[in-house]
Amino acid sequence: MGKGVFITGTDTGVGKTFFACKLAALLRESGYRVGVMKPAESGCAERQGRLYPEDAILLKEASASQDPLDKICPYQLREPLAPSVAAQRQGITLEVDRLMDVYDEISSGHDITLVEGAGGLMVPLLPSYTYADLARVLKLPVIVIAANRLGMINHLLLTLEHARCKGLRVLGYVLNRLESGVPLAAETNREALSTLTAVRCAGELPFVAASEDAYNKAAYSFAEQFDLRIIDSVLCERPLR
């Protein structure tokens, strides 16, 4: 298996795809061949008789991956439910062996592969198999995206604790602002976390208005906001200092 990173979050809708796309674009612009994978995507809308895995499409665009969408996202599920439930209701049996084979293929053709989970670490892929189990079997170190708002300290610490219990290596967490304005919690969370966990904060992403993103200013600020050393540690197989 090639090198890769598993991108998880404290919840659904916290910016995993947003972050993964920014990171994929930055690495691609730096000359790396970036692979992407979304093992299962639920809530896919149907268009012209085909399911439309939006996250996988965004990841493919950002990384310029040449892999077909069916490979980037082997399980495309209709209903907006946890993948194990959506798959059961769609009459599909998810197979971890298939995901391992696909990850192997994608990662061996790229310098680094970004794998985006769904929801958080304990979301089930199979009735008794979670994304934490998948990250472990793929031997992927983890980046946790946390919505920087009130309640996040609890969600993030629970996620880090579960990662530890499952024997996952967490490279760092990223605090992501999903709203404009200056909420007090978002101003104080980073410092509060510094005495609660030894895991490093790998960056704080500002809220980016859609109009600003269109001019691609976000890619520029992303390079400044995110600590790329955690990716270097994967690419160079160096322990983090």
Ligand X SMILES: Nc1ncnc2c1ncn2[C@@H]1O[C@H](COP(=O)(O)OP(=O)(O)O)[C@@H](O)[C@H]1O
| Catalytic residue annotation | 38
* Residue with nearest beta carbon to Mg ion: 17
Enumerate residues 6+ apart whose C-beta is below 8 A from 138. Answer: 1, 4, 6, 99, 100, 103, 115
What's the CA gap between 141 and 145, in Å, rounded?
13
**Residue 123 or residue 138: which is nearer to ligand X going by CB?**
123
Of the ranges 54-62, 66-74, 143-151, 205-213, which one interacts with Mg ion (CB under 5 A)?
54-62
- Choosing among ligand X, Mg ion, none, which partner's interface includes residue 63 (Cβ < 5 to 8 Å by kind)? none
User: Angle CA(134)–CA(114)–CA(60) in degrees, nearest 5?
Assistant: 120
Instruction: Examine residue 17 and tell whether it contacts Mg ion (CB under 5 A).
Output: yes
Query: What is the identity of the amino acid at 215?
Result: Y
Contacts (CB under 5 A) with Mg ion, residues 92-121? none
Structural tokens at position 15 = 């910016």
Closest approach, Cβ 125 to ligand X, in A, equals 16
Which is nearer to ligand X, 11 or 105 (by Cβ)? 11
Helix (H) or strand (E) holding 191: helix 184-194
The 3-state DSSP class for residue 51 equals: strand
CB-wise, 52 or 240, nearer to Mg ion? 52
Q: Which CB atom, from 18 or from 131, has the smaller least distance to ligand X?
A: 18
Q: Which residues pair with 41 in a beta bridge?
A: 76
CB of 80 to Mg ion, least distance (A): 12
Question: Does position 55 bind Mg ion by CB under 5 A?
Answer: yes
Binding-site partner at residue 223 among Mg ion, ligand X, none, CB < 5 to 8 Å by type: none
- Separation of alpha carbons 147 and 170, rounded Å: 17
- DSSP symbols for 65-133: --S-HHHHSSEE-SSSS-HHHHHHHHT----HHHHHHHHHHHHHTSSEEEEEEEEETT-EEETTEEHHH
In angstroms, what is the minimal distance from the CB of 216 to Mg ion?
20
Binding site residues, ligand X, CB under 6 A? 9, 12-18, 176-178, 205, 207-208
Shortest Å distance, C-beta 114 to Mg ion: 12
Of the candidates 3, 16, 110, 177, which one interacts with Mg ion according to CB under 5 A? 16
Residue 13, contacted partner among ligand X, Mg ion, none, CB below 5-8 A by kind: ligand X
User: Is residue 22 a contact point for Mg ion (CB under 5 A)?
Assistant: no
Residue 205 touches which member of Mg ion, ligand X, none, C-beta under 5-8 Å by kind = ligand X
Exposed/middle/buried for residue 103 (C-beta within 10 Å: 0-12, 13-18, 19+): buried
Cα separation, 88 vs 206, whole angstroms? 38
Interface with Mg ion (CB under 5 A): 16-17, 55
